[in-house]
A and B are shown apart, each in its own frame.
Chain A
Amino acid sequence: MKNDQLLEMIERYLNGEMTVEERAEFDALRNKDAVVETKLEEHKHFTGLLKQYNDRHTMEMRLNAIHDEIDAHTLANDLMAHPSVVVRLWRQHHSKISVAASIAIFATLLTLFFTGYLSNKKADYQQLVSKVNQVENSTKKLEVKTNDLIKRGGKTGPIITAKYRGTGFALSSNGYILTNLHVVNGADSVYVQNADGESFHTKVIATDASHDIAVLQINDPAFKNLGAVPYGFKKGKSELGEDVYTYGYPTDAVVFGPGALTSDAGFQGDTAEYTVSVPVNQGNSGGPLFDSKGNVIGIISGRQTQTQGVAFAKKSALFLKTIQDIPADSLKNNPLILNTKNTLAGLSRKEQVKKLKNYVFIVKVYNQ
Chain B
Amino acid sequence: MNNHLNVEIPADSEVILGILNNSDVVLKKLYLAYFPMILQLVINNNGNEDDAKDVYQEAIIVLYNKVKRGDFELSSKLKTYIYSICRRLWLKRLKQMNRYGGDIKDFEDYLPVEDEVEMQQERDLQLNKMGEALKLLGEPCKTIMEDFYMHNKSMQDICERFGYTNADNAKTQKYKCLQRLKKLFFQQQ
Q: Which residues of A contact B (CB under 8 A)?
A: 3-4, 7-8, 46-47, 49-54, 56-57, 59-60, 62-64, 66-67, 70, 72-73, 75-76, 78-81
Q: How far is the CA of A72 from the CA of B31 in the complex (A)?
A: 13
- Pick the residue among B44, B123, B150 that contacts A81 (CB under 8 A): B44
**Also in contact, A56 and B61, with CB within 8 A (given A66-B28, A72-B52, A73-B49):** yes
Question: Which residues of A lie under 8 Å from residue B172 when comparing CB positions?
Answer: 4
Interface status of B178 (Cβ within 8 A of chain A): yes
Question: Which residues of B lie under 8 Å from residue A76 when comparing CB positions?
Answer: 39, 43, 48-49, 52
- B: number of interface residues (CB 8 Å): 40
Q: Which of A46, A53, A57, A64 has the most CB of B within 10 A?
A: A53
Interchain residue pairs A-B with the least CB separation, the first 9: A54-B150, A79-B40, A4-B175, A72-B49, A50-B149, A53-B130, A66-B31, A63-B57, A53-B127
Within 8 A of A (CB), among B146-189: 146, 149-151, 171-172, 175, 178, 182, 185
**Also in contact, A67 and B178, with CB within 8 A (given A52-B123, A75-B36):** no
**Also in contact, A63 and B39, with CB within 8 A (given A72-B53, A80-B44):** no
Contact B171 A70 (CB under 8 A): no
Interface status of B85 (Cβ within 8 A of chain A): no
Q: How far is the CA of A78 from the CA of B39 in the complex (A)?
A: 10
Q: How far is the CA of A59 from the CA of B149 in the complex (A)?
A: 17
Interface status of B60 (Cβ within 8 A of chain A): yes
From residue B142, how far is it (CB to closest CB) to chain A in Å?
Answer: 11
Interface status of B94 (Cβ within 8 A of chain A): no
Contact B32 A50 (CB under 8 A): no
- Pick the residue among A52, A57, A70 that contacts B32 (CB under 8 A): A70
Question: Which residues of B lie under 8 Å from residue A70 when comparing CB positions?
Answer: 32, 35
Question: Which residues of B lie under 8 Å from residue A57 when comparing CB positions?
Answer: 131
Contact B31 A56 (CB under 8 A): no
From residue B1, how far is it (CB to closest CB) to chain A in Å?
Answer: 8
Query: Besides the contacts A53-B131, A75-B49, A79-B1, what 20 more A-B pairs have beta carbons closer than 8 Å?
Result: A7-B178, A8-B175, A49-B130, A50-B149, A51-B149, A53-B134, A53-B150, A54-B146, A54-B150, A59-B61, A60-B57, A60-B61, A63-B27, A66-B31, A70-B32, A72-B35, A72-B49, A75-B5, A75-B35, A79-B43
Q: How far is the CA of A95 from the CA of B170 in the complex (A)?
A: 67
Q: How far is the CA of A59 from the CA of B36 in the complex (A)?
A: 20
Question: Which residues of A lie under 8 Å from residue B48 when comparing CB positions?
Answer: 76
Q: How far is the CA of A51 from the CA of B178 in the complex (A)?
A: 14
Q: How far is the CA of A316 from the CA of B32 in the complex (A)?
A: 92
Q: Which of A7, A76, A78, A80 has the most CB of B within 10 A?
A: A76
Q: Which of A63, A73, A78, A80 has the most CB of B within 10 A?
A: A63
Q: How far is the CA of A53 from the CA of B178 in the complex (A)?
A: 15
Q: How far is the CA of A70 from the CA of B61 in the complex (A)?
A: 19
Contact A8 B5 (CB under 8 A): no
Closest to B44 in A: A81
Interface status of B24 (Cβ within 8 A of chain A): yes
**Also in contact, A50 and B130, with CB within 8 A (given A59-B64, A67-B53, A79-B36):** yes
**Also in contact, A47 and B149, with CB within 8 A (given A52-B123, A59-B64, A60-B57):** yes
From residue B35, how far is it (CB to closest CB) to chain A in Å?
Answer: 6
**Also in contact, A52 and B39, with CB within 8 A (given A46-B182, A63-B31, A66-B32):** no
Interface status of B126 (Cβ within 8 A of chain A): yes
Closest to B128 in A: A53
Question: Which residues of A lie under 8 Å from residue B35 when comparing CB positions?
Answer: 67, 70, 72, 75
Interface status of B82 (Cβ within 8 A of chain A): no
Contact A67 B57 (CB under 8 A): yes
Question: Which residues of B lie under 8 Å from residue A79 when comparing CB positions?
Answer: 1, 36, 39-40, 43-44
Q: How far is the CA of A56 from the CA of B150 in the complex (A)?
A: 11
Contact B171 A8 (CB under 8 A): yes
Question: Which residues of B lie under 8 Å from residue A4 when comparing CB positions?
Answer: 171-172, 175
Closest to A42 in B: B182
Q: How far is the CA of A25 from the CA of B134 in the complex (A)?
A: 34
Q: How far is the CA of A50 from the CA of B31 in the complex (A)?
A: 26
Question: Which residues of A lie under 8 Å from residue B171 when comparing CB positions?
Answer: 4, 8
From residue A66, how far is it (CB to closest CB) to chain B in Å?
Answer: 5
B6-47, CB under 8 A of A: which get 1 and which 0? 000000000000000000100110011001100110011000
Q: How far is the CA of A332 from the CA of B131 in the complex (A)?
A: 111
Q: How far is the CA of A52 from the CA of B129 in the complex (A)?
A: 12
From residue B89, how far is it (CB to closest CB) to chain A in Å?
Answer: 15
Interface status of B117 (Cβ within 8 A of chain A): no
Q: How far is the CA of A80 from the CA of B48 in the complex (A)?
A: 10
